[in-house]
Amino acid sequence: MRTPTVGIVTVTYDSGRFFSTYLRSVEAQSQPPAQTVVVDSGSPDAGFLLSAQDVPSVQVLRERNVGFAAGSNLGWRLVRERDYVLFLNPDAFPAPEFLARATAYLEANPGVGMVSPTLIRYDIAADRPLDVVDTTGVVRTRAGLLAERDQGQPLSVLERYREPNEVPWLCAAMMLARKEALEAVIEGNDELFDESFFMYKEDTDLSWRIRRAGWKLMHHPGLLGYHCRGWQDRKSVSRKARLLTARNEIKMSLKNKSPFVAIGLLKWLAVKLLDR
């Protein structure tokens, strides 16, 4: 049987702290990717990218600061003909069997458009995983807010997940997507991710559009990855980033005809007027 091909797309910005660990995790895959495209979005010091020269399957693009959405689109267009595309943050590290198991799962489940692993928080300074869940997918809380499911919880909570489970949205730190699902939601100007978002919520918007096109989005507890995540709580996120996040949530809700658009508006007002 033919082994399905996978292309990896990664957008970097000042990612030197993580890049060597990222490269090792990609090279350690038991089923190697056919192609890896790293798009650097305007890093002031991009010397860390030199280490990729020793990996023949990795292609590096140097761009101005175009943002995550446009950078991901540049990479995606180069791997577009692959059967599957793994969107992978530079501070996220898949376990060695991730690609083999994830592609096998998608091959066996043609109705699934994208799948993501259990992501565990990783301490890059100590170079080790923590006993903390990073995410098992994105859900809406009872208060109507979007949140990473199980984030910050001890790993013991993972015992509740015995089988792959459907979630409304996935985190693009590490998600494997089917070519057909991506092609079904291309927007004007040949955009996969909506470039007007620049960064933040663009992965939630893509997940929403893929789900609306009839594909399932799954969290698979048998898949494992690690994520450093650049912030630990909302207080550590800059006001500019919080305003952009809230603005994009409003935009995303309007695009996808969500009745929760008011939640995004309230969040934007809270940041704008109260710096909350």
In a domain, residue 22? The reply is yes
Residue 25 falls within a domain, yes or no?
yes
Give the C-alpha separation, 248 to 255, whole Å. Answer: 10
Distance of CA 86 to the CA centre of its chain: 9
Q: How far is CA 8 from CA 18, 215, 269, in A?
A: 16, 21, 37
Q: Are residues 197 and 274 in the same domain?
A: no
The domain total for the chain is: 2
Q: Are residues 75 and 10 in the same domain?
A: yes
Structural domain for 276, as ranges: 233-276
Per-residue pLDDT tens over the stretch 129-176: 999 999 999 999 888 888 999 999 999 999 999 999 999 999 999 999
Residues 250 and 145 in one domain: no
Q: Does 43 fall in a domain? A: yes
Does any domain span residue 253? yes
Give me the pLDDT at residue 55, please: 86
Phi, psi dihedrals of residue 198, rounded to the nearest 5°: 65, -65
Tokens of 76: 């995606």
143 and 237 inside one domain = no
Q: Are 91 and 203 in the same domain?
A: yes
Q: Residue 238: CB partners within 8 Å, gap ≥ 6?
A: none
Cβ-contact 14, 45 below 8 angstroms: yes
255: nearest Cα among 198, 190, 207, 215: 207
Cα–Cα nearest to 117, from 141, 99, 143: 99
Residue 158 sits in the same domain as residue 187: yes
In a domain, 1, yes or no: no
Are 196 and 237 part of one and the same domain? no
Element of type H or E holding 68: helix 67-79
Please give the model's pTM, rounded to 2 decimal places. Answer: 0.90
Q: What confidence score (pLDDT) does residue 255 get?
A: 80
Give the β-pairing of 174-178 and 84-88: antiparallel
The CATH number that applies at residue 192 is 3.90.550.10
HSE-up of residue 72 (Cα within 13 Å, Cβ side): 27
Q: Is residue 68 part of a domain?
A: yes
pLDDT 10s digits, 229-257: 865 554 556 777 677 677 777 777 778 77
Out of 211, 230, 249, a domain closes at 230
Residue 47: inside a domain = yes
Q: What local confidence, expressed as pLDDT, does residue 1 receive?
A: 67
Do residues 196 and 256 share a domain? no
- Crossing angle of helices 239-255 and 261-274, in 10° steps, is 160
Amino acid sitting at position 237? V
Strand partners, 224: 118
Task: Please list the ranges in the chain whose pLDDT falls under 50.
Answer: 234
Residues 117 and 249 in one domain: no
Residues 217 and 256 in one domain: no
> Are 123 and 213 within one domain?
yes
pLDDT of res. 91 = 97
Residue 133 and residue 28 in one domain: yes
